[in-house]
Chain A
């Protein structure tokens, strides 16, 4: 990457794998379980979080020298809340159906531990550009897991991807369904998201021995 120094590039690349907010830090699990039944919802959620975290980290970083430390949590909350409301209204205006699917979970981005965590741990102590990269990186790490989980859950649970049937028609019994295959209803339920996330963690840790804890 010519654009970024190696240190800056690591801000984006680290959270994608070795310091992933979901699989390594186990933050933001709540929304990862709730909205990943469809790939489209996962994607929109990922984009929303990327927006909120990128902008939020920049805003907090800009204000970091004037925020009194006693009330910093409240200031952070106000920043996130403002951004989340923007996302919510945009979704309602341009993707109403989707915003109904995501329902309360857009609002709950406010409580997403990853966001508050990065504000506290990074944006309050670092410059604007680095904070921006850190925000984008962590949100991408979150989004990647969301999309992987969403992909498997929608494919195995509903036989579709982005709402488009890819395995045939389950009612007319075409494609794979002609052989007796059926959708796995368990995949659509939240417990299965937990198990899929667990399997991702398992695979990741068994490939990278440095991550294994005793």
Chain B
């Protein structure tokens, strides 16, 4: 008996029982459901929620694979025994460190989704598929698995299920999970030790009295925030051969993923473009402040403010956040004009927080979460503005 018929039989067997949604979900996840709606007029489209989610995941797979290679590459470079980037040695480290992150993220998240579906007696929504993939890509590689599990449980329950599940959430669940990790366990989420596999462990071994050299994997933003010279070249930043969260280092692959999303009309080009513009504008303002001598070299903001404005696009999580998280259709603005404002402010605030936040030199996470909260308000005023304009037109016509 094949998998399809097994699943189908299971589904039939549990029909009408409490567990029905769980088996329905397993069946729909792999195969097209054969139930169709029988009355009413319908527009037939091929891209259901599941397919939409799959396309976003496909856009992220290159980042994930690159992250695996990069994890090992950074690890061995930091140890002083560099290996080829595209080598099995590099990939192996990434595989054994990142695969568990992916498994925990999906395991815990989907378990909670299934649980809530069974309790609330609704079908399992596919909403977690993208979140589950985003989460391992935006955490530092050595994040302990239990922390990730706690954070995923928190993010899915508090960030999504309490609002009513997929499509009802105010905040992006993946970012909620990351924000929880960031505020709850800051020692694992920021600083110069967490971005390269083995650095924390090595530190503990040194603390325990072993004679080893400390390794550090400071991110470029961390280096700049301290006003030090960056050792990575621009092309390294663009291709992504730099330390950072698992999947966000390669601007090139993110760019390709973004183009893929725009081409398939899943991601909004308006948000991506306006966010980039916002970041550039803020970067230019800071550069202007520096060249007008308002910010002198001694200032603690000098390092990040004097960074050439377009370099901001290449470093940190900005590109990843803009392409994969700001464009989340549930939490972003819905109106086209709203999308421009929403995106612009994300870029603008990202760079602002990046420069001014003393504790953690990255702002894209907080900027997107803040704008997620603002998005309904933006939409409200855009819609009201439109209504007002039409009313005016109506009056002119009638007069």
**Chain A contacts to B: CB under 8 angstroms:** 180-182, 184-187, 189, 195, 198, 202
Q: Which 7 A-B pairs have the closest CB atoms?
A: A186-B184, A186-B183, A184-B184, A185-B184, A180-B144, A182-B185, A185-B186
Please tell me if the beta carbons of A182 and B183 are within 8 angstroms of each other in the complex: no
Min CB distance B369 to A, Å, is: 12
Cross-chain pairs A/B with CB under 8 angstroms, 13 sampled: A180-B144, A182-B147, A182-B187, A182-B188, A184-B184, A184-B185, A185-B184, A185-B185, A186-B184, A187-B184, A195-B158, A198-B158, A202-B162
Residues of chain A with a CB closer than 8 A to B186's CB: 185
Interface residues on B, range: 10 to 19
Q: Which partner residue on chain B sits nearest A181 by CB separation? A: B146
Say yes or no: is B180 at the interface (Cβ < 8 Å to chain A).
yes
Can you name 18 extra interface pairs (CB under 8 A) apart from A181-B146, A189-B183?
A180-B144, A182-B147, A182-B185, A182-B187, A182-B188, A184-B184, A185-B183, A185-B184, A185-B185, A185-B186, A186-B180, A186-B183, A186-B184, A187-B184, A195-B158, A198-B158, A198-B162, A202-B162
Interchain CA distance A185-B190 in the complex, whole Å: 13
A138 to B185, CA, bound (A): 37
- Of A180, A182, A195, A198, most buried by chain B (CB within 10 Å of CB) is A182
Q: How far is the CA of A46 from the CA of B150 in the complex (A)?
A: 31
B182-216: which residues lie under 8 A (CB-CB) from chain A? 183-188
Q: Which residue of A lies closest to B184 (CB)?
A: A186
Residues of B within 8 Å of A181, CB to CB, are 146
Q: Which of B147, B184, B186, B188 has the most CB of A within 10 A?
A: B184
Chain B residues with Cβ below 8 Å from A185 are 183-186
Min CB–CB distance A166 → chain B (angstroms): 19
* A202 CA to B163 CA, complexed, in Å: 12
Query: Which residue of chain B has its CB nearest to the CB of A206?
Result: B119
Interface string of B168-188 (1 = CB under 8 A from A): 000000000000100111111
